[in-house]
Each structure stands twice: as structure tokens, then as C-alpha cells.
Structure 1
């Protein structure tokens, strides 16, 4: 099971039961998480992904969670975004990093902090050899996050910028 934490944040795995609570009983979701669930969580970019994740769990009930809700720890725990590796590694061991942070919590280093922790967790598993990410060319916040992770810009795909980081590049940068 995914257990990813940083100094200020925790990534709570988005399981089928937690996703169902988001749709049907946000109050119960908040109780289970022992965290505030802001009205704008998970945000317009990630909300359409939740039904897809739920469908995946319904097709494969034992599927491991590779996506999570970002909880800001402290006296008042609060959901501030979501991050994940889009279903886990493909046959080459590549995962696709995706994330969002609610506007009230942007520009405070949370995306970079959680992305570092999630990438470290992924590379420690042994079945992940490369992390990729896509972002729009005008998304300066995401570009900064990906650069801080040490990701390298690849040739664009469609209208998106493509980024990549191998396990070896990550390990070299950590020493």
C-alpha cells in the first residue's frame, strides 16, 4: 500500500471506498480522513479522474492505489490537492506523474515537496525505472515543480510539454 509522507504532507491512497465517499458523503470522508475537505477539492483538473479511478477499482478490486489525496498536516488537517502515478508502471517500468494543488495552497512548495516524496517512493519499489510528466507550455507553476525534481524536458507531444526522469538520474542527484 502506498505510504508517502513528507515533512508537512501525507498522501492518502485514493481507494474505491474513499472515492465513493467523495461522491456520496463528503462529511463521512472528512471523518475518516480526520481532515477538512474544502468545497473546491479535488479541483476541476482532477475531479473528472475520480470516476475513472473508481471504474478501475471496480474492474480490478485488488488493484493497488497509485493516486492519492494530499493532506496538509498540522493542528487542522486539510486536503489541499491530489497526486499520483496514473495507475502504476507500464511494461517498461514507466509511471506518469500527475498532480494538482488547490489555488489557496499554491506557491507554497507543496507540489514540489510531495512530488519528491512520491518519486522517491516509486523508485524505491523496484518496478519503476522512469517517471514522465506532461504540462501545458504556459503552466509556469508545473514547469518549476518538474525542474526542481530534476526532470529533463523532452520533445513536446501534441500541445503538451513532456518531461522525464530515470531512476539513475534521480539516484545521482540524491548524492
Structure 2
């Protein structure tokens, strides 16, 4: 399963891909048929890879939510990671997170893929709300979340918390 936008493709990470990313970057790049920048995964996503691998080894057929990479371009390059952190909870809430390679920040990629991924999530029927957290001084993430139409709902544990309901998303879609 892949989610596509005009410039990007979102590819879920499998156990095999994660093992390659951790142990054989050259084969990882060949398997993806993409360039993998030296600074991927970043400091935020690197510690997540072993956790994702552990989960995939326990359940090799999970539903796609957590770990995915984004590729850009005709000659694809891995530009970052994005996921919905475990899928919907009992209330239908998912938590979106992303990490963009520094050289590809400020090109609208996070906003573009987040829009496509939020749209995909709401189309499923079991997702009613998307939330996100970011540091109060992370202006790049704040801009992405604002462009998605998310509403800032307050400071929690030193992080700004954001929210977007399915109903709000449908209003935003009609306006664009």
C-alpha cells in the first residue's frame, strides 16, 4: 500500500527494509531504487527504527501506520519519514509524526504528504481525528500543522498539541 501526492510517494517500511536501513544502506538504496541521503534517518527517527523492527517481528502482517518513508522525484530520493503512530485508538484518533531530511525542508514536502496521508486516513472510516505534537520553537512543524488546518489546543508536557477532526477536514477540502 502506497499513498501518493503530486511529487511524493509514501512507502511503508517492512521488517526487511528496516533491517537493510540499519545494516546495509547500499542494499537499502538499491532495494528502494532511490538515493538515500547520508543524514537519513535523522536524530528523531533513528531510535524509532529498532522499535518498529521489533513490532514487525512480533506481528509480520500489521496494518500500515507507524513507519513509512517518503520518496521524491523521477530519480527518487528518500526525503524523510512520516507515520500515524500506531493507528487509531478507541475514539478513532491517530497521531501524525514526520521527520524531513534537512536538505529537503522548506520545500512543502511535509505539508504535501501530510495532506495526502490525512486524506487517506479519513477516507478509511475508522479515523475521526488527527492529532500532532511539536516543540513550541519548531516553526517548520508549526507551519505544516497550520497549513493542514490543524487547531492548536494547548501546551502539554512542554509540547504544543494540535488537533484536526474529520468534520473540519471535510470543510477545508470543500474550500480548496
Relative to the length of structure 2, the TM-score reads 0.95
Q: Structure 1: how far apart are the matches of 2:56 and 2:156?
A: 29
Distance 2:151 2:52 in 1: 28
How far apart are residue 155 of structure 1 and its match? 1.9
Cα distance in 2 for residues equivalent to 1:135 and 1:12: 23
Matches within 5 A, 1:35-74: 35-66=34-65, 67-74=67-74
Deviation at 1:65, TM superposition (A): 2.4
Instruction: Supply the distance in 1 between the matched residues of 2:38 and 2:161 (Cα, whole angstroms).
Output: 31
3-state DSSP of counterpart to 1:153: strand
Ranges in structure 2 where 5+ consecutive residues have no aligned partner? none
Partner of 1:124: 123
Residue 86 of structure 1 aligns to a residue whose secondary structure is coil
Where in structure 2 are the equivalents of 1:66-105 lying within 5 Å?
Answer: 66=65, 67-74=67-74, 76-105=75-104
* Secondary structure of the structure 2 residue equivalent to 1:169: helix
CA distance in 1, matches of 2:95, 2:160: 13
Q: Distance in 1 between matches of 2:151 and 2:13?
A: 28
The number of residues matched between the two structures is 173
Structure 1 distance, partners of 2:70, 2:61, is 22
Structure 1 gaps of 5+ residues are none
Indicate conservation of the 8 Å contact 1:5/1:117, yes or no: yes
Equivalent residue number for residue 141 of structure 1: 140
Q: Out of 140-149 and 51-60, give the one that drifted further.
A: 51-60
TM-superposition CA deviations, 1:85-117 (whole Å, max 9, x none): 012111111100000111101111011001000
Separation in 2 of the partners of 1:64 and 1:25?
25
In structure 1, what is the equivalent of residue 107 of structure 2?
Answer: 108
Higher mean alpha-carbon deviation, 59-68 vs 127-136, is at 59-68
- TM-score for both structures, normalised by structure 1: 0.96
User: Which portions of structure 1, spanning 4 or more consecutive aligned residues, are displaced by more than 6 angstroms?
Assistant: none
